A and B are shown apart, each in its own frame.
Chain A
Amino acid sequence: MISYILRRTFAAVILLLVVTAVTFAIFFLLPRLAGQTADQLAQQYIGKSPSAADIAAVKSNLGLDDPLYLQYWHFIKGIVSGATYDLGPTTTQCNAPCFGYSFKTHVEVWPQLTSRLPVTISLAAGAAVMWLVSGVAIGVISALKPGSFFDRSFMGVALAGVSLPMFFTGNLALLLFTYQWPIFGRTYVPFTENPAQWANTLFPAWCSLALLYSAIYARLTRSGMLETMNEDFIRTARAKGLRERKVVVRHGLRAALTPIITVFGMDLGLLLGGALITETVFSLHGVGEYAVQGIKDNDLPPILGVTLLAALFVVVANLLVDLLYAAADPRVRLS
């Protein structure tokens, strides 16, 4: 078990390195290959018709003069041992883990990530609970009475949920429940400050996200349950005279849950790396919004930081999923 976790962790670190290298290449190497010079890159960070001296100064400040592998090395080194940035009259020490220093907003990336992460976690966790509970419940009920009115109508709603984009559901939820009938709050408050208001403000966002995801989970659960409920061991359980509720929950659902755990782990990991659209629509200052701003500004360090964070969450979620597998399904052994 321990050696399994160690091996997986080592693989995760390698994977993260690859992810940073690819992101780095996309934002730094591709423009170069397309003919963009270091001067043009530097010019993006200066307001207007800059002199040659200005460009040279910005280039050396940002290290754009260095060969690409060196720039990448500086980034990786910063994460482990920190870095120092020249701000003109003063310098700033960016302590490890230093995820870089934003060229555009002039703040370090790491404190931005840590201050925004609670927002994203609040959004993702709340939505995850909602979609998991509703999705699985609907799936189970539908599977037990396939073809019934309940099954058909809920699968219809589920289909609509998957097809409606966040732009639509999010904005509609805002319009109806925040402006027309102002039931829900507008400004995010941390959980530690006021849990009631925290939930109250996030509720429309949770619902919108949950509508999108629970549809997928309902369908997954339904098909999984339909399959398991026809398995031999279910017949055996029934033959033993177990109560139907126990058959469904203990034997049926538990077996059908394995693929759902897999998808859930991935979804949650991805969402923790930033729900770009949801955060933008609901004006939540989370990690995803930070990435959007970085992309808009052509500001590499925030993009790299968020990408790395997202990759980390997905990798960790994957590991947890594999561990949970063993718990949910006794047939699985970790080796």
Chain B
Amino acid sequence: MRPWREFGKFPLMEEKQTIMRRSALAAVAAIGSVSLLLAGCSKADDGKTDDGTKAAGANAATKGVVNASTQAGGTVTYEYSDVPDSFDPGNTYYGYMFNFSRLYARPLMTFKPGPGEKGNELVPDLAESAGVPSDGGKTWTYKLRSGLKYQDGTAITSKDVKYAVERSNFARDVLSLGPNYFQQFLDGGDKYKGPYKDKSAGGLASIQTPDDTTIVFKLNRAFQEFDYLAAQPQTAPVPQSKDKGIDYVKNIVSSGSYQFQSYDEGKQVVLVRNKNWDAATDPLRKQYPDKIVVNLKVNAETIDQDVQAGNAIDLGGTGVQAATQADVVNNADKKASTDNTYGGRLVYMAINTKLKPFDNVECRKAVQYAIDKVSVQTAEGGPIRGDIATTVLPPDIPGYQKADLYATDGSKGDPAKAKEHLKACGQTTINTNITARSDRPAEIDAATAIINSLKTAGINATLKQFPSGKYFTDYAGVPKWDADNNVGLMMMQWGADWPAGFGFLQQILNGSAIGASGNTNLSQFDDKEVNDLLGKAIGTEDQATREGMYAEVDAKTMDAAALVPLTYFKVLLYRPANFTNLVSTAAFSGQYDYLNIGTTKK
């Protein structure tokens, strides 16, 4: 699959730069300096927020809930510089929509609001308890809570959950934007054509609903992380009688604490309290604000200003713009209102293990030693934007184990050692190409830094840039194209679809994931041991054993030097004043958990 969730927010400034780079930069610089000037006389000098309380301190929301409050009422405003793929819970692949949609669509399972890695904990939502595996993890049974109702007061049944999974995963010609793991893992999933084409009463045979509160999933293989799939918004119930396919997004029937008051495509969405939602059926949601407003297509700089003024929350949750970042980190008072946290993502460079001479592990090791990771980190935006990485799994993904196989002094690279390995590989110099995405300035800068460090070890790489929209479908993700164009090195970023080792590693390291186009295993790494370990891990019930196996896969990948970890991606969020219950969760790439955010404003 394509790593959709890593797209996150598409900063408008980046767009403009490609059109008129010089003036855009001038504007950014000017605004940056003006705001620096103005900051000198701003009233927030004493580190106090508008209502006179002290800011909670840097990274407070990654350690606990900031502004915990049960105060109800008011309007919570979200702003986003772009538009989401869809508000339809069955047709979205963005992490922030996985997060936000829970306000009006309750999945079987979800993540418990909690700081940092504590947010990775799965808890039952629509289901009354976690899934019960049987048949060695091939069958999963969920029991729904009793008394569940839609916004119109009709009862929610397990058949609605079944229908929601069927429409979102099997009618790919209509609802094509979400993930389709259920199609891959459900028994007979490759043959079922979805509820719009297949009108048979029974639907997909491998999802059974023996009664109105029970749902059973029959899988084609053991899959011990199924609860993570059940936590996707795709399991949120959809009543078949109200489903209008792609048009359902205009009339979504809520099962959560809020319901749609208005839906204005590409402009604004307003949610109000769902009167038929019952707190007795829901231990997670609190229904604090009266109203939730999402303003779309708001200028990215405007969002930063609104967030700092305590007027809005950035829906995309990928952090502040570059100009704001410079302003915020150099001001101790403002810094006390920021959260700098891991985004569940690895920035790395894949090495093409199928291309000569990189098919020889010694040549790959030479690359590992040659790269000055500090210069790459600087190019990516410094420590604020990422810690230096030495493993495949980032620290906020369960299974991470600290290791640094190719340690160099201060992570600054070791050309001498690199040359030794180059010699062991039977080469004195290598000429190759490195790919990067042209619309991502930081990635281009990082690739340039890599080219400079490789040069010191005798490896000459030439930068080739391609638009991100076609990076996987037409260029780096096409093994034949890589071979034809002598592409040995490829810049890459990867975030998991769910916070566990399998979700992270499967698509970038398993040999079976190598596709002819749209390939994300850019290294074309096909190691029997790694493949077997991944297969075994997902069928292993005990979580600790499973996580041990992921660590082993990580170590074996580094042994084989299939990729060079560069940085563990971090986001810098500005924590807006006037909002309550803010907690930055690792389950949603460091975003604030949107379930219970309230406001102190009236």
Contact = CB atoms under 8 A, between A and B. Distances in A.
Given A48-B180, A285-B266, A280 B12 contact: yes
B424 interface: no
B406 interface: no
A156 interface: no
Contact of B23 (A46, A50, A165): A165
A4 B398 CA distance: 76
B301 A47 contact: no
B68 interface: no
B577 to A, nearest CB: 15
B24 interface: yes
Contact of A47 (B30, B93, B309, B469): B93
A296 interface: yes
B261 interface: no
A177 interface: no
Contacts of B10: 296
A167 B23 contact: yes
Interface string B23-53: 1101100110011001000000000000000
Contact of B27 (A167, A187, A293): A167
Nearest to A187: B295
Interface stretch (A54-62, A192-200, A210-218): A54-62
Given A174-B302, A285-B267, 7 more contacts: A49-B2, A88-B175, A89-B244, A167-B23, A167-B26, A175-B34, A178-B305
B177 interface: yes
Interface in A102-156: 105-107, 112
A179 interface: yes
A168 B93 CA distance: 35
A87 B2 contact: no
Interface stretch (B204-212, B245-253, B579-587): B245-253
Interface in B288-337: 295, 297-299, 301-302, 305, 309
12 contacts: A48-B1, A87-B245, A88-B171, A88-B246, A89-B196, A90-B247, A106-B249, A172-B27, A178-B305, A187-B295, A283-B297, A283-B302
Contact of B245 (A43, A88, A289, A298): A88
B360 interface: no
Nearest to B22: A165
B173 A48 contact: no
Given A43-B473, A48-B4, A180-B38, A88 B173 contact: yes
Nearest to B178: A47
Nearest to A60: B173
B388 interface: no
Contact of A88 (B174, B265, B267): B174
B246 A57 contact: no
A45 interface: yes
B31 A280 contact: no
Contact of A48 (B2, B243, B302): B2
Secondary structure class of chain B's binding surface, majority of residues: loop
Interface in A221-236: none
B518 interface: yes
Interface string B400-438: 000000000000000000000000000000000000000
A47 B265 CA distance: 20
B172 A283 contact: no
Given A40-B473, A48-B179, A112-B266, A54 B172 contact: yes
Contacts of B174: 87-89
9 smallest beta-carbon distances between A and B, as pairs? A57-B173, A88-B245, A88-B174, A167-B27, A54-B172, A165-B23, A48-B1, A46-B176, A47-B177
Interface string A223-262: 0000000000000000000000000000000000000000
A264 interface: no
A228 B243 CA distance: 69
A167 B246 contact: no
A43 B35 CA distance: 43
B15 interface: yes
A316 interface: no
B442 interface: no
A88 B518 CA distance: 26
Nearest to A166: B23
A88 B34 CA distance: 52
B418 to A, nearest CB: 36
Given A50-B176, A57-B173, A293 B297 contact: yes
Contacts of A293: 83, 266, 297
B280 interface: no
Contacts of A277: 16
B201 interface: no
B196 A58 contact: no
A305 B302 CA distance: 28
A89 B248 CA distance: 10
A165 B298 CA distance: 20
A46 B177 CA distance: 6
Contacts of B474: 40
B266 A290 contact: yes
A51 interface: yes
A281 interface: yes
Contact of A106 (B38, B179, B246, B305): B246
A89 B245 contact: yes
A61 B4 CA distance: 24
Contact of A105 (B38, B266, B295, B515): B266
Contact of B196 (A88, A165, A289): A88
Given A47-B93, A89-B196, A165-B23, A296 B179 contact: no
A293 B83 CA distance: 9
Nearest to A56: B173
Interface string B175-201: 111111000000000000001100000
Interface string B459-501: 0000000000100011000000000000000000000000000
